[in-house]
Amino acid sequence: MNDAIVRMLDRHQCRSVGDYGRALREILQEVALLGLWRSKFFEKAAFYGGTALRILYGMDRFSEDLDFSLLQPIPGFDLSRYVGALEREIRSFGFEVSVERREEKKKESPVQSAFLKAGTLKHLLVIETAEEIARQIPRGQVMKIKVEVDTDPPPGFDTENKFLLHPIPFSVRAFVLPDLFAGKMHAVLCRQWKSRGKGRDWYDLVWYAAYHPQLHLKHLEKRMFQSGHLKEGEHLTREKFLALISKAIEKLNVEQVRREVEPFVKNPETMEVWSKEFFQEVVRRIVLQ
């Protein structure tokens, strides 16, 4: 196994096959970010979403996808131009990988997608050779990581360079935290996931309120206007925002969203306090900018 991968695994203090699988997924995500950096991708785009919180800010929730936004619309932008760089970088660290561009879409969307598929079996067997552990690993198991790029970003956000030290020192352009929070709040208020709230969105909301409560309201307004949740000339005031989030909380099936996010959290007992009253209190901690 590549020495850099071994050192990165040591940071995760894995104790089970599940731990190793999650750790390898995160390492694959970091290697993919390195490949994008080498290909000058971050001159055109910025990192955002749950994986950005996990990798850049240490949020204690596992995240599966790599989400990016162009800094501004670019006619003719094509994610497939970066596929070769991703494959080369990931293979150089010993992963057997393929990157597939997602071509078919159910409806027109400005979001371009690709899938990283990397084998985990040989890595896990090298790490943990005990027969009992080895039997738990499905033959042919692969990690799948979706890479998405929003090619038509709403305006009004800022970015900054964040530095990573693994697998080598490099930089990643990312949304600043108040704009990251605005993007997450747009998901909480506007995303319909299987006709219900998404547990990961509500978990992230609690994390933001606890550690980085500043929310850029104007950027949230731009996102809601673009998605059709605000009308032409309508503004998102503090009062309107509070009314919208209170309504979302009242409609929330707390037990359902808690079950949905549990597989992505190391300590599910931290969610035992979840209730509608709890989320109403959490919202009061948000600092609107």
Do residues 167 and 25 both lie within one domain?
Answer: yes
pLDDT digits (tens, 9 = 90+) for 75-115: 899 999 998 899 899 888 887 888 877 665 556 789 999 99
- Paired residues of 148 in beta bridges: 67, 113
| Domain closes at, from 123, 145, 174 | 174
Half-sphere exposure of 181 (CA within 13 A, CB side): 23
Do residues 198 and 136 both lie within one domain?
Answer: no
Q: Which of 61-70, 195-204, 271-280 has the lowest mean pLDDT?
A: 195-204
Do residues 88 and 118 both lie within one domain?
Answer: yes
Does residue 62 register a pLDDT over 60? yes
Report residue 135: phi and psi, to 5°.
-65, -20
Contact by Cβ (8 Å): 27, 9: yes
- Dihedral (CA of 38, 41, 46, 51) sign: negative
Average pLDDT, the chain: 86
Residue 140 is predicted with a pLDDT of 52
Do residues 96 and 169 both lie within one domain?
Answer: yes
Do residues 39 and 1 both lie within one domain?
Answer: yes
Do residues 112 and 217 both lie within one domain?
Answer: no
Do residues 73 and 137 both lie within one domain?
Answer: yes
Q: What is the largest CA-CA distance in the chain?
A: 65
Contact by Cβ (8 Å): 29, 51: yes
Does residue 137 register a pLDDT over 60? no
Do residues 26 and 151 both lie within one domain?
Answer: yes
Q: What is the CA radius of gyration of the chain?
A: 20
Do residues 25 and 114 both lie within one domain?
Answer: yes
Does residue 130 register a pLDDT over 70? no
Domains of the chain: total: 2
Helix axis angle, 217-226 to 238-251, nearest 10° = 70
Q: Which of 60-69, 125-134, 167-176, 177-186 has the lowest mean pLDDT?
A: 125-134
| Domain closes at, from 157, 174, 191 | 174
Do residues 139 and 276 both lie within one domain?
Answer: no
| Burial annotation 207-227 (CB, 10 A radius, 16+ → b, else e) | bbbeebbebbbbbbbbbbbee
Q: Which of 6-10, 47-51, 153-157 has the lowest mean pLDDT?
A: 6-10
Contacts of residue 10, defined as CB under 8 A and 6 or more positions apart, other chains included, come to none
Do residues 27 and 128 both lie within one domain?
Answer: yes
Structural domain boundaries, residue 236 = 176-289
What CATH code is carried by the domain that includes residue 163?
3.10.450.620
| Domain closes at, from 141, 174, 207 | 174
Does residue 177 register a pLDDT over 80? yes
Q: Is residue 229 exposed (0-12), middle (13-18) or buried (19+ Cβ within 10 Å)?
A: middle
Do residues 25 and 45 both lie within one domain?
Answer: yes
